[in-house]
Amino acid sequence: MMVQSWVEWIGLIAAITNIWGNLMLAGLRKSGWALRLVTNLLFIVYAAFTAGGWPMLLNHVAFLGINVLGWWKWQQASATDLAAAVK
């Protein structure tokens, strides 16, 4: 397999960051959320320039929103845990 265009490079990088971000989240590392947000943005760009990529684009727009919500909820939970530990 040889990467032949910048769009393919974006897709390859998105796939790698997707796996890496999911592994980080599986290990309960908050930085996995940031990596997943980058992944979603990369997949959105990739899908926009790929023939027939509209379903993928819509999917990753939805995932972007879900990841923002998940990151926000995790931050809220962390703040609550920290407040409970300080008391």
Q: What is the pLDDT of residues 39-87, one digit of tens each?
A: 999 988 988 888 787 888 888 888 888 888 888 888 787 766 645 544 4
70 in a domain, yes or no?
Answer: yes
Distance CA 51, CA 46 (A): 10
pLDDT (tens digit, 9 = 90+) per residue, 3-23? Answer: 688 888 998 999 999 899 889
Residue 87 lies in a domain: no
Q: Which tokens sit at 74?
A: 């995790």
Structural domain harbouring 69: 6-82
Assigned domain for 1 exists: no
Cα–Cα dist 27/79, whole Å? 19
